[in-house]
A and B are shown apart, each in its own frame.
Chain A
Amino acid sequence: MIEFISIAIIPFMVLIIVLHGYIKGVDVYNSFIEGAKEGMKTSIKIMPYLIGIFIAIGIFRGSNAMDMFIDLLSPITNILGIPKQILPLVLIRPISGSGALGVVRDTIAHYGPDSMIGKLSSIMMGSSETIFYTLAVYFGSIGVEDYGHTLKAALLSYVISIFISIFICKFLI
């Protein structure tokens, strides 16, 4: 059911909006063009920010500095009961969405989709976001440099969400 909604939502929304606009006597075509122009302007405006962000994230990922962090963190995560096999996902998830998806694919290929680790990585992937990327794109687009408490709060929530996923996997499935 939810899968169906996910697929049908866009065509359905388009239909409703256009129909509603038409009934209310809105100049549908010109309104669309007007809004579309603004959309184009915004995308061009954020391009330099995006280039900077992509390079920064790419360098961090490509230098394999990540592996170093995994080694550094593993003693701590062992104590906390986080399975070692999902550490790469835990670390890459906030940085790169496509990278994380690649890790999930590796994990599932290696441990099997129905294994505990396979399910855990699926649930973690689905219940978290690319924190750094989102932060950089959204704040970058308006030129805000001081993020306030945003990053702290997001990372804290992320850590807690990892434990929620582990808890759900261990006790509810």
Chain B
Amino acid sequence: MIFIGIIYAVYTGNLGEINNIILTEAEEGVMFAISLIGIMAFWLGLMNIAEKSGLIKSIAKLFRPLLRLLFPEIPKGHPAERWILMNFIANMFGVGNAATAFGLKAMGELNSLNRDKKVATNSMAMFLIINMSSLQLVPLTVLKIRYDYGSSNPTDIIGPTIVATTFSTIIAIIIGKFFEVAKR
């Protein structure tokens, strides 16, 4: 991306802009990580309570059959299961920053099961493929924009969006599984 971007900037005489971008985006990266600190601390702190009280364990048990199907490589009761589950739930309800916090923990746990630390495992791939297919049920920001621009019924896209999201997630799972099988 950097390569294409800079070459194209040279071509269009846009190089000054690149300097600005490096400065602002470097700052943006720091700001984002700092903004993550608070929310990560909050959610992981909260989850540590739920962990100790046994709440997460009971929820994880409920969804175990589904997780077994999607992630056969994860041993039963491994902490990765829980974080993946929490990430999915947070994603569905559009709590983006909590989803990120859980997702990062999930990746860490999945990596502890990884033999070659440089290469992604099937479980990581499946986890991210599902994540990237969008799980969010209600796109609140989009609703806000529709409302701001005077839609006669801003929420009428919720139904179609849920249908689209459901199909895209199912297809993503199928494609992910297909690649797993093809690799063998």
Contacts and interface: CB of A to CB of B under 8 A. Distances in A.
Interface of A: 2-3, 5-6, 9-10, 13-14, 16-18, 20-21, 23-24, 26-28, 31-40, 42-44, 46-47, 50-65, 68, 101, 104-105, 108-109, 112-114, 118-119, 122-132, 134-135, 137-139, 141-150, 152-154, 156-158, 160-161, 164-165, 168-169, 172-173
Contacts of B178: 153
Contacts of A157: 129, 132-133, 168, 171-172, 175
Contacts, number: 344
20 contacts: A3-B155, A9-B93, A26-B49, A32-B48, A35-B47, A42-B44, A43-B34, A51-B26, A54-B28, A55-B22, A63-B9, A64-B14, A108-B146, A108-B149, A113-B154, A118-B151, A130-B132, A144-B118, A161-B168, A168-B163
B53 A26 contact: yes
Contacts of B46: 13-14, 17-18, 32, 35
Contact of A156 (B2, B158, B175): B175
Contact of A42 (B14, B108, B150): B108
A154 B179 CA distance: 11
- Category for how many chain B residues contact A: 35 or more
